[in-house]
Amino acid sequence: MSIRAVIWDFDGTILDTEWPAFYAAKVEYERVGLELSFEGWSTTIGTANHRTWSDLLHEQAGDRIDSPELVEQRYRTLKNEMTDSNPVMPGVSRLFDQINELGLGCALASSSPIGWVQRHTTRLGFWDRFEGVATRTDVGRERTKPHPDLFLLAAERAQLDPAFCLVIEDSNHGVTAANAAGMTAVAVPHRLTESHDFSHAAARLDSLEELDLADWV
């Protein structure tokens, strides 16, 4: 297949936001003597269509836990501190340059809200690289990945043909969504998603450093 555009996932693909989110939630579980399941958390990566960790924590901990507002504040503070200190994932900057060199279209589709995505991609210098962006803010929590809505909307906004889009993803939910949108997906998992089933991806790579877009054009 010859591609004409790349559609990025954000969390865990461009920036490691996934480990800070897991670790910050894990700290709150440990405050009340509970353990946050690594495996359980992994199944939620890539989608927003699930019960939140904080709802489950309050359900399990009962009166042992602080107010929901305080728990959420501590969680966000730690998650943001960790995320803000993380560099982009290896290979990301090179791939943005290669997209320009090859004259490919470029868009982003994320199950996170627009504020989160725009803040970090602006900080990293990538926001203006996207011709189209679609986030949870556009489609609602229930229609995030593995539904195709985000990818189709991102392609529409960037005026891209889904059949010629290569999606870069870190989760099985994301790959499923890309396939449902009629796109080709490359999976680049990390420590929280390496156990996912990526048999439906066109390729599975250990790092974005291994991806050469010239091979797909």
Hey, which residues are catalytic here? 9, 11
List CB contacts of 10: < 8 A, sequence separation 6 or more. Answer: 17, 108, 110, 112, 117, 120, 121
Give the integer Cα–Cα distance in Å for 157 and 132. Answer: 5
The neighbouring-strand residues paired with 165 are: 5
Give the integer Cα–Cα distance in Å for 178 and 215. Answer: 19
The DSSP line for 44-111 is TTT---S--HHHHHHHHHGGGS--HHHHHHHHHHHHHHHHHTPPBPTTHHHHHHHHHHHT-EEEEE-S
Give the integer Cα–Cα distance in Å for 76 and 95. Answer: 30
Give the gyration radius of the chain's Cα atoms.
Answer: 17
Which of helix, strand or coil describes residue 165?
Answer: strand
Phi, psi at residue 83, to the nearest 5°? -65, -40
The torsion of the CA quartet 93, 190, 187, 114, rounded to 10 degrees, works out to: -60
